[in-house]
Amino acid sequence: MTRADLAKAIFDKVGLPKKEAQDIIELILDTIKRTLAEGENVKITGFGTFHVRKKTARRGRNPQTGEELEITPRRVVTFKPSNLLKERVEKVK
């Protein structure tokens, strides 16, 4: 599903003009990105939680050459789905 698909779904369900629906989606996504960039978690009830995790430096290996290298410390975003979302996905099978 793309941003355009989300905007179309809002247009179909709520009746907002597509431009307004796109603006709302952009605002929501920008807010989530900014919050995660500040190091805060984002919890959307019934959907899941986006966590910002700090990974420490570690040794790694280039799979093509086998050369050992140092992987620098970094922050990554992880997602943990809510139980409600997990159950809904399971039902669709």
pLDDT of residue 6: 92
Per-residue pLDDT tens digits for 44-79: 999 999 999 999 999 999 999 999 999 999 999 999
Instruction: Tell whether the model's pLDDT for residue 92 goes beyond 90.
Output: no
Q: What is the CATH number of domain 1-38?
A: 4.10.520.10
Distance CA(77)–CA(52), nearest Å, equals 5
Query: What residues does each domain of the chain span?
Result: 1-38, 41-93
Contacts of residue 6, defined as CB under 8 A and 6 or more positions apart, other chains included, come to 21, 25
Superfamily name with CATH number, domain 41-93: IHF-like DNA-binding proteins (4.10.520.10)
What is the pTM for the complete model shown? Answer: 0.78
- Three-class DSSP labels, the chain: CCHHHHHHHHHHHHCCCHHHHHHHHHHHHHHHHHHHHCCCCEEECCCEEEEEEEECCEEEECCCCCCEEEECCEEEEEEEECHHHHHHHHHHC
